[in-house]
Structure formats: C-alpha cells, structure tokens
Amino acid sequence: MRVAIIGGGCAAAGALEILGANPKIQEIVVFEAASHWGGRAWTRKVDEAYFDMGPQFVQDPGVTISDADPTLKGTDLPETANPWLKIIKKLNTANLSNFTCLQIDPTTYYRVPDGAGGWQDVFTTNDINQVNNTIDTDFQFAATKPNLPASVTYQSGGPFAGTVHLALGSNGYGPIAESVETWQYIAADSDRQVAPAGEQPNIYVAPGIGDVVGLYMNVLTNPAEGSSCAITGNLKTKVLSIQQGSNQIKIDTENGSFYGFDFCIVTISPYALANIAFTPPLPAEKIKALKYIGLGNYKKIGIYADNIPESIKMNTEYYTIDLDGQSCWQYFRNPHFKNLLIGVASGNFARTLETMDKEQVRDRFTAVIKSRYGDVTLNITDWAVTNWANEPRIGGAYSYTIADGGPADDPFPLQARDLLQTTHQNIFFAGEADWTEAYGTIHGAYYSGQRAANALLNRL
Ligand SMILES: Cc1cc2nc3c(=O)[nH]c(=O)nc-3n(C[C@H](O)[C@H](O)[C@H](O)COP(=O)(O)OP(=O)(O)OC[C@H]3O[C@@H](n4cnc5c(N)ncnc54)[C@H](O)[C@@H]3O)c2cc1C
C-alpha cells in the first residue's frame, strides 16, 4: 500500500510512527509546505538561547518531573506519561535531557498602575481561583446550551468584568482556549502551572519542543536500512489539491503532481484545510464544521538581553497590565536560558498585536518592562516575534469552538470536531483540532494522527 501524509507536525508524527512500522504499508510520502518539520512546534535560535515560537511546554505531562527526567536512564515512564515525554526518552539525545517546571509568584500575580506612579497587585491566587471557578460554571452551562451567543456577561469583580467572549472547552482545565480574554487566559494558565490536586504542572524541555518534534520527524522519515517501508519526506512542498480517482489518489503540489496513492492522511489545521481543493468535494457537513472551528490568537515574543532585571526571577511567571490599561502580558525568563525573556499575549489583545509590525510589538513589550522595572533599557542582542495568524499554512495558534449566535440548543458547534475527523472515501483526517479530549496540544495532535493511521490499517 502507498500512503500520502499531508503536513509534517505532531499529528503527522503520530501517523507516521504507526504506518512506517506496519508491514502492510510499502511506501509513505510526506508533504510539508514549510522548510522545517514540526509545524507549529518550531524552535528558533535567539542569540544563544532556543526560543519556541510555538508550544513550549508539555502540558498534562501525566508524570511528575522527577519521574520524567530523561537523565534517569533505564526508568520506563508509566503508561500515563504524555507521549512526547516518552518520545524524548526514545530519542535518547543528551541535549534534550533537561526538564523543569515554572512556578507562579503569588505575591506579584497581576499588577496595574496605582495612579501615583507605582504599581499595585490586583489579583492574588485566590482571586484567580475564583475567576477560574466562575468560568467553569459558565462552561458547564454552555455545555448544555452549546450554541450560546459568542459573548457572555461575566459578573465577578476585577478589571475585566463585563462582556467577554467565551470559547468552549480545552482539555481537563475546563472552558479555556487561549483565544479568549486576558483574564480567562490568566486563570487557565495559572491553573496549569500550579496544577490542581492529582495533576502535574507543565514541563519545559530544553532546548525546545520544536526541536524535539523536528528531530523525531527526521528519525521517522529516515527509517533504518532494511525497513519494509520506504519513506520520503518532502519539505517545501505545498499541496494544492487532492483528487480521488476510481481506485487511486493524485496529489498536486506547488512542485508538481504525485500519483498512485491508495490512501491519504491530511493533518493540517482547519484553516489550511479550507484552502485545499478536493475532488470529489468534501461533504457539505464537513465544510460547515470547518466554519465552527476557529484558530485562536496567542502571541509570543522572545528577547535576549544580558540585563534583564534581577527581580524577574528564574522559574517564576509574572503578569502585568499593558500600557493601554486593559490588556495583559504574561512574562518569564526561559527556564533554561536566563537571558531570554519571553512575553506572551492572548485573545483579542494578541489579535491586535498580530496586525502590528514585529518592531512595534517588541517596543510595546519592552516599554511595559521598562515602566514596570524602574526605567530599565534592555540590551537586546537578538529577538523574535511570532505571527501565526498571518501564516497561511496555519492561520492562528490553535483551535477553539465558535458559537455563532444561533439557537442555544443547537448541538452543531460541539459536533464540529467530530465531523472534521470523518473519513472522505480513502482520505483520513487528523490534527490537534479534532482530538476532542485535548485539542490545542502537542499530545492531542499526536494521538489524532495515531487514530487516523489505525483507522486506515483497519481498512486493509
Ligand atoms: C504559540 C503556540 C503555543 C503553543 N503552546 C503549546 C504548549 O505549550 N503545549 C502544547 O501541548 N501545545 C501548545 N500549542 C499547540 C500545539 O502547537 C499544536 O496543537 C500542535 O503543534 C498542532 O500539531 P498538528 O500536527 O495538528 O498541526 P501543525 O503543527 O499545524 O502541522 C500541520 C502542518 O501542515 C503543514 N501544511 C499546511 N498546509 C499545507 C499544505 N497545503 N501542503 C503541505 N503542508 C501543509 C503546515 O506547514 C504544518 O507544518 C501551541 C501552539 C502555538 C501556536
């Protein structure tokens, strides 16, 4: 059997791992539009540090950090461990062997100007927990009325009380996708970092998640000699159309056409999927489903400087209001590179930042740091800013469910992810957006790729 895989990110890795090891598959060709493997998992060198433009931590690790530490040779990870931690162990690469977690500094949780030239703390951990609980209640309600209008009124106190957008569902942490408002994001993120009872905090990997995924794709696309499956990885090969004939599939790319596939697995984001021409066309329900899955905004900036204020401590996360008095930055030193300061913005604020030049974003973030830390001017030697929303092969950071204001009991929005994964003749679908248990994650994407590969094998 000959199989084509479209996309070369975490979902593709999950599919390739299974198909490449199955003797019924003789050949696999992977098509990736970018010049690197990993998709949204992409690590860039910023001066001497590694900066993750995309995912930076293993969320829902399923093990404690000491259990996961890859320097502990020979320790098998328990079944519950996040698959990417298992992959890191399998890769057994010395320069990946460093994990850490971030802590929240509970005394400087969230700061706003005090009106007298100084700053005051607004939220404490308890406040954040209350915000989180309220969102949880909202979500439980929304789950029974899935097609709620896109905005709800949030009554609790704090600077962001009022009408906000509610994005539905993202893993065990409740209603949050990072496509939502600033304070919702804060609550969700703190929940992950501090880890509720019975769960483990996020794990940061050195040098970066992008390098892990890229390395794994390199290993998978270069199987050992004697392998029963021939695998070809084509970078810089954007797929334009997929045509299913009477028994074979033809794929047109920017670099020419490829013929004779028995099956195809498409692992690209819903946004990118809408730009591929299918013959026969995708069913109307699937096209409708694509309209209910948006790609949210999550903006990251990495700044390398040797004079980051000492009061920004290692392994500690901070939140500070933006100069506009409304929006909020999360920031911290990269836990593995103390001279790399990372700023993160989410929701509508991130959407606004995505429309700005990267220099403007850098200046806005550094102005906040300057104002917050006694007029410090950072000695910036290198920096990078993400802009996933304007990357046509992705279209945003990660998926969220769009409630479109229709009848409240219409279940369609919550079915959209399931419809995204339905098979279209000999074409299977995968990607973070259709792993309903943990979409918007590297493990969700990987599991979705495995599911598509197993469904394909079940057809043989
Ligand atoms: C800023 C940011 C921070 C994140 N943080 C975390 C985190 O900390 N932890 C976590 O678990 N998750 C995080 N995520 C989410 C995680 O990155 C994604 O869920 C996951 O990487 C998605 O993998 P995927 O394979 O489904 O899709 P992708 O990574 O998008 O892979 C699809 C690939 O298809 C390619 N492609 C698209 N169109 C075409 C075409 N026409 N032809 C050929 N190739 C094409 C794309 O270039 C891409 O490489 C983050 C994401 C972002 C953007």
Domain-embedded: residue 250: yes
Q: How many CA within 13 A on the CB side of residue 303?
A: 26
**Are 211 and 88 contacting, i.e. CB atoms less than 8 angstroms apart?**
no
User: Does 441 map to a domain?
Assistant: yes
In this prediction, residue 73 carries a pLDDT of: 56
Per-residue confidence at 164, pLDDT binned at 50, 70, 90?
A: very low
CATH number, position 236: 3.50.50.60
Closest CA to 206 of 293, 96, 354: 96
CA of 439 relative to ligand 1 center, distance in Å: 11
Q: Report the candidate in 55, 265, 451, 449 with the shortest Cα–Cα distance to residue 273.
A: 265
Instruction: Specify whether the CB–CB gap between 273 and 33 falls below 8 A.
Output: no
25: left (phi over 0), alpha (psi -120 to 50) or beta: beta
Torsions phi, psi of 88, nearest 5?
Answer: -60, -40
Is 311 contained in some domain?
Answer: no
Q: What angle do CA 247, 250, 253 make, to 5 degrees?
A: 170
Peptide bond connecting 280 to the previous residue in cis, omega within 30 degrees of 0? yes
Where is the domain boundary, 51, 75, 99? Answer: 99
Ligand 1 mutation pick, 30, 268, 290, max ligand atoms within 8 A of CB? 268
Lowest mean pLDDT of 19-23, 157-161, 277-281, 372-376, name the range. 157-161
SS (H, E, C) 244-293: ECCCCEEEEECCEEEEEECEEEECCCHHHHCCCEEECCCCHHHHHHHCCE
Domain boundary among 99, 118, 145: 99
Same domain, 213 and 271: yes
Instruction: Clarify whether residues 92 and 241 are in a common domain.
Output: no
CA distance 105 to 459: 52
Distance 160 CA to ligand 1 centre (A): 30
Q: How confident is the model at residue 63 (pLDDT cuts 50, 70, 90)?
A: confident
* Pairing label, strands 230-234, 239-244: unpaired
Strands 27-31 and 119-123: unpaired
**Ligand 1 midpoint to CA 8 (Å):** 9
For the stretch 385-426, pLDDT in tens is 999 999 999 999 988 777 555 555 667 777 888 999 999 999
Which residues does ligand 1 sit against, CB inside 6 Å? 6-12, 31-34, 39-41, 54-57, 59, 238-239, 267-269, 272, 276, 298, 300, 386, 388, 393-394, 397-398, 431-432, 440-442, 445
Nearest to 57 by CA among 169, 220, 184, 195: 195
Residue minimizing CA distance to atom 41 of ligand 1: 239
Answer yes or no: is pLDDT of 272 > 60.
yes
Q: How far is CA 433 from the centre of its chain?
A: 10
What one-character DSSP code corresponds to residue 172? B
| Average confidence score pLDDT of the chain | 81
Q: Greater confidence, 343 or 130?
A: 343
Q: Domain check: are 30 and 86 in the same one? A: no
146: tokens are 């899935």
Identify the band that residue 131 occupies on the pLDDT scale cut at 50, 70 and 90.
Answer: low
Quick one: pLDDT at residue 126?
A: 61
Range in 198-207, 350-359, 387-396 with the lowest mean pLDDT: 198-207
Residue 116 counted as domain residue: no
Measured distance CA(36)–CA(386) in Å, rounded: 16
Choosing from 5, 37, 40 the residue with most ligand 1 atoms within 8 A of its CB, the one to mutate for a pocket test is 40
- Residue 14 within a domain: yes
- Range(s) of the domain holding residue 272: 2-41+209-283+422-458
Q: What is the pLDDT of residues 25-41, one digit of tens each?
A: 999 999 999 999 999 99
Residue 165 CA to residue 184 CA, distance in Å, equals 10
Atom of ligand 1 nearest to the CA of 394: 30
User: How many domains does the structure of the chain reveal?
Assistant: 2
How many angstroms separate the Cα of 222 from the Cα of each of 17, 219, 235, 259, 454?
A: 12, 5, 13, 22, 21
Q: Which of 99, 123, 149 is the last residue of a domain?
A: 99
The pLDDT of residue 340 is 97
For residue 184, what pLDDT band results from cuts at 50, 70 and 90?
A: low
Structure-model confidence comparison of residues 255 and 169, the more confident one: 255
Q: Is 70:96 a contact under the CB 8 Å cutoff?
A: yes
Q: Is the pLDDT of residue 179 over 50?
A: no
Query: Residue 253 CA: which ligand 1 atom is closest?
Result: 42
CA of 235 to the centre of ligand 1 (A): 15
Could you give the CA distance from residue 341 to residue 313 in angstroms, rounded to a whole number?
11
CA 53, 70, 203, 58 torsion-angle sign:
positive
**Residue 335's pLDDT band (cuts 50, 70, 90):** confident
Coil, strand or helix at 237: coil
Ligand 1 centroid – CA 12 distance (Å): 10
In a domain, 13, yes or no: yes
- Residue 400 is assigned to a structural domain of this protein: no
Are residues 72 and 26 located together in one domain of the fold?
A: no
Same structural domain, 35 and 89: no
Q: Are residues 69 and 31 in the same domain?
A: no
Q: How far apart are alpha carbons 433 and 427 in whole angstroms? A: 17
Indicate whether 178 belongs to any domain. no
